Amino acid sequence: MELTADKIKELVVKPENKVYAKTPLLTDKTLSYCPGCGHGVAHRILMELVEEMGLENDTIGIAPVGCSVLAYEFMNVDMQEAAHGRAPALATAIKRLWPGKFVFTYQGDGDLAAIGGNETLHACNRGENITIIFINNGIYGMTGGQMAPTTLPGMRTSTSPYGRDTHMMGNPLKMTEIVAMLPGTYFVTRQAVHTAKHARKAKKAIKKAIEVQLEGKGTSFVEIVSNCNSGWKMTPVKANQWLEENMLDYYHLGDIKVDGKLVKEIV
Amino acid sequence: MGELRLMKGNEAFAEALIRAGADGYFGYPITPQSEVIEYLMAEKPHERTGMVVLQAESELASINMLYGGAGAGKKVATSSSSPGISLMLEGISYMAGAELPCVILNVQRGGPGLGTIQPSQSDYFQATKGGGHGDYRLLVLAPASVQEMSDFVPLAFDLAFKYRNPVMILSDGVIGQMMEKVELFDPIPRWTDEEVIEKNGDWATVGKRPGRERNIITSLDLDPYSMERHNHDLFAKYKKMEEEEVRWEELNTEDAEYFIVAYGSASRISQKAIDLARAEGIKVGLIRPITLYPFPYKVLQEKVQKGAKGFLTVELNMGQMIEDVQLAVKDNAKVEFFGHVGGVIPTPEEVVEALKTKIIGG
Amino acid sequence: MTEEIIIAGFGGQGVLSMGKILAYSGIMQGQEVSWMPSYGPEMRGGTANVTVILSDERISSPILTKFDTAIILNQQSLDKFEKAVKPGGILLYDPNGITRHPERDDINIYKIDASHVASELGNPKVYNMVVLGAYLKVNPIVSMDNVKEGLKKSLPERYHHLLPLNESAIEEGTKHVEVVREIK
Ligand SMILES: Cc1ncc(C[n+]2csc(CCOP(=O)(O)OP(=O)(O)O)c2C)c(N)n1
Ligand code: SF4
Ligand SMILES: [Mg+2]
């Protein structure tokens, strides 16, 4: 018997064999991300949770400027596209004007920690009852791999071709630790999605972040240390390895603030 | 008759926001308009109508809060003065691109740069020709009294939602700081959430509704042909504004041979100048554009057709609106400018003198 | 009737609130009014002035160079505004601290020693009300009843227990104003 695609479909695609389905809260649009990029996984986790928690009709999301600028094309909920860095300001107003909705921002490290640093700090400091998903890949992916505030010391990018010189450019900015110090944040955590195990943990963390918002407790902030194989100029596999060995060495995973209390010493 | 009060222009604007059923005000202090947020904070609009008032961390944040709130279908407003408006231009351009309704008050002060806190009208180009990046227009209303600082608020919201476009109220330090008698309009109830969904739910992000696709608020379009179409759509909308929304006022124009064209505080000063000139037998009248965009070109053209001998524009700047007057009048009559800048205010006597030397004698 | 008034003095003398009460009194008798202050850093300790216009007609310019009345409370303001009074107009001033007195002979000049009267009343804060009383005596453009109404309107409710004190300050002002020169 010749195994054609149709034949395989006929033999395999049966309800009893189904172990996974894409959530309907991801559209059928082909993701614009590079293969192996963490953005796709983060999108999936978030939208699965919105579906599982029954929030489809009560969610308003905000996309950033960065590789995930088109997040609104993929996330099948009501979405706004913000100017570069301003997502927390949009979220502030939306949540205050629609307190019953689940409001999240989804932002890169250039967006959240560089150009939007002020909006991030002040939204967190006011304790806006919103959820911030922060994808830290240590680089400006979208514009072709320039240095970000989060770029590691010595790391080569197109604007630090000899490696980040910390004397000239300072040290990587740990925005997550900074916002954890603010009384307005209630749940602050750092996660990763480069392995299935990490992705499962990240999903739990985002679920908690959503719950914190639904309970009206204050800002919930989830950093996801991610890769950018294109920007880092590595294969996807190599990029995940490099993430494990270098990024996680600087950006330690785990909860930083739980129930409004620091659970980790900030260094 | 509505309630009478003696109020500053800034306070009248703030009170009018509450009465117009605004859902949110987001702003950052700057002279000469800080009374707006001070008044709102003192009035506790949250208790009066449920309106949200928030002091933002910057004008950049304020305008982006407007983006979020407007994108979610609500009536939102901000206010600032010139340097703060410059900072808002990013968000204003995005809102024009994403076709979001909002009301922005600019109580102009002198520039460029940090400039002066004294009154000015030097943001005319910025307000009427776009200001931020990209091809867009704001609908611009120019109040000339404290009464209009109040009355233009509900009008601005109506226009903003009618055209889904930001509306700017272009005022200045004189109108913002002076007190006059205001007749306050009766409060208009805020829209309930159900009304917001009913009125704006087909485009705003109010949460997905069963039976419709998700709503997206964005100004991004990477397909050049589609982006070009969007620009054409915007300009079709602006054309409609030009056809339907031109507003102006005329004083002493019936028998006038000469015309002063002025808006806002300059129009008030010019009114006095006209009284003085008429006492000397000069037949001069005032044309006061109320919408600066769309500009009342046709009104000026009609005066030219009826034999107008000359037009003097009076502005608190180096001559900006005069370009629009010239566009209307062309070479068919004399067009000259008189003004002061930097916070110096032209006096009625100087205006009469300019009329005599530049238009009548010149 | 249109009355164009400048009130000028130091910040803290109650220049702006005197203007406000005058304007509110105008509203009380159905007039159009405008109140245009100088604003900005010059207010803090420096000079402050406000242009108040009361009129039966729509008011044109809220900013003027010539006035029917100048109410002057310090030397700087006298130097600046004496020449701005229209011929036949009124200049009312407080002679305290004045070294160069008004010199014009084509206007009506009055003076009020308001700080003295206010301290007699036991409250220097009502200084501006004494001046207002003096002005209304020489130029009764608003009736005393309407002034009382205007005072009530412009004073926040939590200060309403001070209304009688302010009213008696106005009363005292009417009694103590002195003619320096009248040209009638
Ligand atoms: C005001 C403004 N400045 C600059 C840009 C260009 N720009 C677009 S995305 C980006 C960096 C995005 O980096 P990041 O937020 O880390 O997102 P990533 O692409 O890495 O996910 C920059 C600088 C812009 N769109 N707007
Ligand atoms: S450039 Fe980097 S961040 Fe952007 S999609 Fe590709 S891998 Fe992901
Ligand atoms: Mg990045």
Per-residue pLDDT of chain B (362 residues; tens, 9 = 90+): 788 999 999 999 999 999 999 999 999 999 999 999 999 999 999 999 999 999 999 999 999 999 999 999 999 999 999 999 999 999 999 999 999 999 999 999 999 999 999 999 999 999 999 899 999 999 999 999 999 999 999 999 999 999 999 999 999 999 999 999 999 999 999 999 999 999 999 999 999 988 889 999 999 999 999 999 999 999 999 999 999 999 999 999 999 999 999 999 999 999 999 999 999 999 999 999 999 999 999 999 999 999 999 999 999 999 999 999 999 999 999 999 999 999 999 999 999 999 999 999 86
Other Cβ atoms closer than 10 A to A243: 26
Q: How far apart are CA A103 and CA B304, in angstroms?
A: 56
User: Which domain covers residue A42, as residue numbers?
Assistant: 31-262
pTM: 0.92
Which of C36, C61, C154 is the closest to B272 by Cβ? C61
Q: How far apart are CA A66 and CA A86, in angstroms?
A: 12
pLDDT score of A12: 87
Residues C44-71, mean pLDDT to the nearest whole number: 92
Q: How far apart are CA B264 and CA B321, in angstroms?
A: 12
Taking phi over 0 as left and psi of -120 to 50 as alpha, with beta for the rest, B73 belongs to left
The three state secondary structure string of B302-341 is: HHHHCCCCEEEEEECCCCCCHHHHHHHHHHHCEEEEEECC
Residue B257, chain C, CB below 8 Å: the answer is no
CB A201 within 8 A of CB A191: yes
Q: Which of B49, B94, B192, B218 is the best mutation test for A, with the most CBs of A within 10 A?
A: B218
Ligand 1 atom 3: the closest Cα is on which residue?
Answer: A84
* DSSP annotation of A31: P
Residues 6+ apart with CB under 8 A from A186: A127, A212, A217, A218, A219, A220, A257, A259, A260
pLDDT at C154 over 90: no
3-state secondary structure of A261: strand
B4-194 against B248-360: fold identical: yes
Which of A57, A72, A94 is the closest to B216 by Cβ? A72
Which CATH number goes with the domain that contains A115?
A: 3.40.50.970
Tokens 């071709």: give the residue: A161
Residues C26-35, mean pLDDT to the nearest whole number: 96
Q: Which ligand is nearest to the CA of A108?
A: 1
* Pairwise CB contact (< 8 Å): C32 & B117: no
Domains, chain C, ranges and CATH?
2-181 (3.40.920.10)
Tokens 């504004």: give the residue: B241
Using alpha carbons, select from C90, C84, C59 the residue that is nearest to residue B275: C59
Give me the half-sphere count of Cα atoms (radius 13 Å) on the Cβ side of residue A219.
29
CB B255 within 8 A of CB B282: no
Query: Would you place residue C43 in the very low, low, confident or very high pLDDT band (cuts 50, 70, 90)?
Result: very low
Structure tokens at B63: 């305008």
Cα-to-chain-centroid distance, residue B12: 15
Going from N- to C-terminal start, the domains of chain B cover 4-194, 248-360
Q: Which of C27, C63, C66, C158 is the best mutation test for B, with the most CBs of B within 10 A?
A: C63
- Whether A22 maps to a domain, the answer reads no
Which CATH architecture describes the domain B248-360? 3-Layer(aba) Sandwich (3.40)
Structure tokens at A77: 């909920």
For residue A4, CA distances in Å to A10, A18, A169, C147 come to: 10, 20, 57, 98
Residues of chain A with pLDDT under 50: none
| Chain B nearest C-alpha distance from A47 (Å) | 14
Ligand 2 atom 7: the closest Cα is on which residue?
Answer: A228
Q: C-alpha angle with apex C66: C60 to C68, nearest 5 degrees?
A: 90
User: How many distinct structural domains can be found in chain A?
Assistant: 1
Using alpha carbons, select from B89, B269, B53 the residue that is nearest to residue B174: B269
Using alpha carbons, select from C124, C89, C129 the residue that is nearest to residue C105: C89
pLDDT score of A115: 97
pLDDT in tens, C98-122: 999 999 999 999 999 999 999 999 9
Find the residue in B nearest to C40 (Cα). Answer: B117
pLDDT score of B362: 64
pLDDT score of B143: 98
Q: How far apart are CA A95 and CA A75, in angstroms?
A: 19
Rounded to a whole number, what is the distance in angstroms from the first to the last CA of chain C?
19
For residue C179, CA distances in Å to A103, C109, C183 come to: 72, 7, 11
pLDDT score of C41: 56
Q: How far apart are CA C115 and CA C103, in angstroms?
A: 23
- Whether A236 maps to a domain, the answer reads yes
CATH assignment of B4-194?
3.40.50.970
The kind and range of the H/E element at B76 are: strand B76-80
pLDDT score of C184: 66
Query: Would you place residue C156 in the very low, low, confident or very high pLDDT band (cuts 50, 70, 90)?
Result: confident
- Strand-pair partners of A103: A60
Q: How far apart are CA B181 and CA C30, in angstroms?
A: 10
- Whether A13 maps to a domain, the answer reads no
Q: Kindly tell me whether chain B and chain A come into contact, counting contact as 3+ Cβ pairs under 8 Å.
A: yes
- Whether A162 maps to a domain, the answer reads yes
